[in-house]
Amino acid sequence: MIENLKAFLDAKVAQYNRPGFIANDPVSIPHLFTKKQDIEITGFWAATLAWGQRVTIINKCKELIALMDGAPYDFIVNHEEVDLKKLLHFKHRTFNDTDTLYFIAFFRWHYENHESLESAFAPANPLKEKPSSGEEPIEKYLNHFRQYFFSLPDFPHRTKKHVSSPSQKSTCKRLNMFLRWMVRKDNCGVDFGIWNDIKPSELIMPCDLHVDRVARQLNLIQRKQTDWQTAIELTRRLREFDPNDPVKYDFALFGLGIDERWGANEIISV
């Protein structure tokens, strides 16, 4: 049974982990760029805005990029105060201009001192707190990142709802998806693999509604609620199939979740 399920999921990974997957997914946004910092900035923003219809998400990201003159990193590090006025009407669902301006302020502050956004998650000096028994290594990185992200004076309290952490019991779907894009390394042309301090084996599954539903249908999740522990449970099950790269199965579970042709017959067969 386990061997059949692994073979089934591996086949689905091969089906969806390819360039043809990019066009209709938010990961298409950072693929518009080649500069590392542009990839990081637009990838983080695309992941943050990734709720609702994918077409709308992509269009809003492109709108935001246009407001930054098509060069996000250059705009962020070199803008004048007057340049921010055109961003005052940007909005996607509950993400508004206040949130946008804080993101820009954070990125400018960070890139003044660091070459890559990776150091915001995995700083050069190892984090003092060690993972407790049963804790995933990535938890300390995600918890650290949220604290670091909101370390600027007078950050807007409302913006905190857009950046989650395991300490809040959140699945951290958007951050885990962003980390997948930045960390996973293969030759399939979807994920970037431009970060090295976080290992693919440490990544946690981005557990959205599609992934959660399909994983439960395949009996990969037993936990009743959907929270951080659910994401860990699913990831640990998937490590049984590939301990070095469990999050590659995001392609399979998400792809199955949005594929209306998939149903009971395929579930029974595995």
- Mean pLDDT, the chain, whole residue set: 92
pLDDT value at 264 more than 90: no
Residue 95, strand partner residues: 92
Residue in 220, 209, 237 with CA at minimum distance from that of residue 53: 209
The pLDDT assigned to 159 comes to 97
The pLDDT assigned to 1 comes to 62
The pLDDT assigned to 270 comes to 56
> CA gyration radius for the chain?
19
Q: How confident is the model at residue 247 (pLDDT cuts 50, 70, 90)?
A: very high
pLDDT value at 17 more than 90: yes
Q: At what angle do helices 209-217 and 228-239 cross, to 10 degrees?
A: 50
pLDDT tens, position by position, 38-77: 999 999 999 999 988 899 999 999 999 999 999 999 999 9
Number of folded domains in the chain? Answer: 1
pLDDT value at 258 more than 90: no
The pLDDT assigned to 268 comes to 44
Q: Give the Cα separation of 219 and 211 in Å (integer).
A: 12
Cβ atoms within 10 Å, residue 218: 18
pLDDT value at 263 more than 90: no
Residue-number span of the structural domain to which 76 is assigned: 2-269
- The b/e string for 154-173 (b: 16+ C-beta within 10 A; e otherwise) is eeeeebbeebbbbebebbbb
pLDDT tens, position by position, 215-236: 999 999 999 999 999 999 999 9
Residue 143 main-chain phi, psi, to 5 deg = -65, -40
How far apart, in Å, are the Cα atoms of 8 and each of 11, 253, 268, 269?
A: 5, 11, 11, 9
The pLDDT assigned to 123 comes to 80
Q: At what angle do helices 209-217 and 249-258 cross, to 10 degrees?
A: 90
pLDDT value at 269 more than 70: no
pLDDT value at 134 more than 80: no
Which of 20-24, 69-73, 149-153, 233-237 bottoms out in mean pLDDT, i.e. has the lowest?
A: 20-24
pTM for this entry: 0.93
Considering Cα of 101, then 105, then 107, then 108, what sign does the dihedral take? positive
Residue in 151, 153, 145, 259 with CA at minimum distance from that of residue 198: 145
Residue 92, strand partner residues: 95
Percentage of the chain beyond pLDDT 90 is 86
pLDDT value at 124 more than 80: no
